[in-house]
Amino acid sequence: MRVESGDVSLAVYEHGDPANPTVLLIHGYPDDHAMWDGVVDALISRYHVVTYDVRGAGDSSHPRAVSQYRLEHLANDFFAVADAVSPAKPVHVVAHDWGSIQGWEAVTDPRAPARVASYTTISGPSLDHIGMWIRRRMAKPSPRHVGQLLNQQLHSWYILFFHTPVVSELVWRLGAGKVVARIEGLKHAPRVKNAVHGMKLYRANIFQRVRAPRERSTDVPVQVIAPTGDRYVTPALLEDLHLWASRLWRRKVIGRHWVATAKPGVIARMVDEFVSHVSGSPATHALERAKSGRSLVVITGAGSGIGRATAQEFAAQGDFVIATDIDLATARETADQIGGVAYQLDVADEAAVNDLANRIAAEHGVPDVVVNNAGIAVAGPFMDTSTKDWQRVLDVNLLGVIHGCQAFGRLMIDAAEGGHIVNISSAAAYTPTRSLPAYASSKAAVLMLSECLRAELAPQGIGVSAICPGIVNTPITRATTFVSGNQEQLRERTARAYQRRNFPASGVAREIVAAVRSNRAVVPVTIEAKAGLWGSRLTPGVMRRLARIGVGQ
């Protein structure tokens, strides 16, 4: 259909049942309505989905005068389309790039409360908000603010280029679109016609609005989706949005600037969650966390020791913690202390781990952080360690970690919102000893697994940390299996030694939380763990000689 807006004729495309809520999608530069095809396909079963070519793009009119591309004209175009496709009800707006810029113009317009039910913006801030953002940072030019300004300028280099007449048009005609497609991973290069006419958007608005910004606020519910790999809009540029949007949800998505094209299913899910909630449905767990900023943390072996301390530390930071343990009673004790929830879990049981991961995702959402902490200790000479002992320690310490990484890692990848996996290794992973061959081998495998997994999951925005504690005073010493000698005497002797060292589990917990916040790869905890790591790298021969000394025997 065609919609007239002043002297401009807009090409509008409707999909789905008009009786359903209307979702109106606005494309950016240098695209046309086709960029939304994947999102449309994912939404049409539940919504009346509308796309249109903005002026200067696709099959809509292409005004010659730069002044015809000012934001007030673009806002009028939007309201004309909204009135045509949903005259009786407000529409839910989803916009990208320049579509978001003109979307902000519309939702901060006095007409918005009657015509806009919600606004989802991707990679396109308001130009007025940018102007205010710059003013605030120039007024208090701290090193952080100066760094933010310079960083955004570097990411906005193309704006000056688009203001260069003749040359910029020529570059597009000579194949710049193919370069953009290659860099951004697009299947199709942008159309030259869209790129050439669309540069008038920049020339008509950027400097005029940024130099003289207006105070533009809205009470329309706003969902901000920020791609983590956006080359053009830095996260800092979105910091002040709470000043202008009274009902704000912030979400990140793992992807580049054109994430809506690359991951249409993910974007459609986020839009559906938001629109459904604004329309009266309960918020999904992911949407609740987007509003509150709280992380969802799952910890195995959380019934005591490092696991319980880590649960307490994350809870103290304001996060919601799910405590799991093979002993449900101790997991419940932990959960009761911190206001979390508890589940029974044997990490050696792959099916049980997969089932619980799916249950947690259904009942609480996809975790932001998973701490694979559950472990056991087996001590004694290699020749005295039976195959059964080896199987037991590897089932829990190694396969238990593998099960957790796979089950929750898949959920994180599918959600495309990033996350962090913490695997508890040990200083024993890099400090060989004749007394702990089974335990040390299992923890060395966890360390290498973590390093490999970190490389694999980095493109998905998922961090992986291996925590390597040294001598820590936890209940594991009294549960250690000694393959030779008097069990009770050896356990008591080992426990007393760890008590004399008296490094608390809370110290490890603080390092775990810090590792998640800073995305550290390998974290030795305690002085002996740090010394052992450096020794393994600088003087491995000395470490091998020290390995001949028995411990706890």
Q: Which tens digit of pLDDT belongs to each residue from 34-64?
A: 999 999 999 999 999 999 999 999 999 999 9
Tokens of 192: 């030259």
Give first-to-last CA distance, the chain, whole Å: 84
- In this structure, which amino acid lies at residue 494? T
Where are the domain boundaries for CATH 3.40.50.1820 in the chain? 2-290
Q: Which region holds residue 153: left if phi is over 0, alpha if psi is between -120 and 50, else beta?
A: alpha
| Exposed/middle/buried for residue 288 (C-beta within 10 Å: 0-12, 13-18, 19+) | middle
Tokens of 266: 């993910």
Look up the CATH superfamily of 296-546.
Answer: NAD(P)-binding Rossmann-like Domain (3.40.50.720)
> Is 439 a residue of the active site?
yes
Q: Identify whether the C-beta of residue 228 lies closer than 8 Å to the C-beta of residue 392.
A: no
Q: How far is residue 62's CA from residue 520's CA, in Å, rounded to a whole number?
A: 51
Look up the CATH superfamily of 2-290.
Answer: Alpha/Beta hydrolase fold, catalytic domain (3.40.50.1820)
Q: How far is residue 232's CA from residue 540's CA, in Å, rounded to a whole number?
A: 46
- In this structure, which amino acid lies at residue 163? H
Tokens of 546: 């020290």
Q: Identify whether the C-beta of residue 513 lies closer than 8 Å to the C-beta of residue 368.
A: no
Q: 23-53 burial, b if ≥16 CB within 10 A, otherwise e?
A: bbbbbbbbbbbbbbebbbebbbebbbbbbbb
Q: Cα-Cα-Cα-Cα dihedral of 202, 27, 278, 256, to 10°?
A: -90
One-character DSSP codes across 206-221: HHHHHHS-----B-S-
Which of 52, 202, 343, 439 does the annotation list as catalytic? Answer: 439
Where are the domain boundaries for CATH 3.40.50.720 in the chain? 296-546
Provide the 3-class DSSP secondary structure of residue 179.
Answer: helix
Contacts by residues 15-20 (CB-CB < 8 Å, ≥ 24 positions apart): 15/40, 15/44, 15/48, 15/49, 15/50, 15/51, 16/43, 16/44, 16/45, 16/46, 16/47, 16/48, 16/49, 17/48, 18/48, 18/85, 18/86, 19/48, 20/46, 20/47, 20/48
Q: How far is residue 372's CA from residue 405's CA, in Å, rounded to a whole number?
A: 8
Predicted TM-score (pTM) of this structure: 0.86
pLDDT at 552: 43
One-character DSSP codes across 250-275: EEEEEEETTHHHH-HHHHHHHHHHHH
Residue 342 makes CB contacts below 8 A (sequence gap 6+) with 302, 322, 323, 324, 325, 328, 331, 332, 334, 335
80-118 per-position pLDDT tens digit? 999 999 999 999 999 999 999 999 999 999 999 999 999
One-character DSSP codes across 2-48: EEEETTEEEEEEEES-TTSPEEEEE--TT--GGGGHHHHHHHTTTSE
User: Which ranges of the chain have pLDDT less than 70?
Assistant: 473-502, 550-553
